[in-house]
Chains A and B, each alone.
Chain A
């Protein structure tokens, strides 16, 4: 069984400040991990993914995330927030080696960027 916990349903930062969105997972097998972004009334867009190899993964729009097995975490960061980053962010997990399996999503974190 898998689960995802996103700490903080709402995060607020100032423009230009560091963005840190937290994601912890539980999985009985090595996981594939994903971050998605959703703008209002739109579908989800893949930001980045971890499958195997390098634990620091870079995605679109300047975001990156680090897979830390010992901490069962996959936190999303961006060095400098932009107003256009305001959106809802979802962390998701699936068991590795079974690329057709279903994803388990966290409950989402709403990011607000203040001018």
Chain B
């Protein structure tokens, strides 16, 4: 079946560095791709999304890149801060409008 997966379960970075979290997807019919952030003890929180007809979208300190050729999605966080430490999930939505979530990547920011 279709799935959303992540390349790395844990990513450790130094404060101030840029972080890149990767996600592979297999459903070429997906309409939306979304990134969520989940801090310890809390529910996931929407960060940014990108439609399938786009290659790049920027937010505040975050950029999402979509490479449909290789079915790859990435979240770039600029100048990573300790408050960015969390688990990051990618998700995709197809025509069924039901989001399918990946397993998550834990981002650890060292001061």
Report if A and B associate in a common complex: no
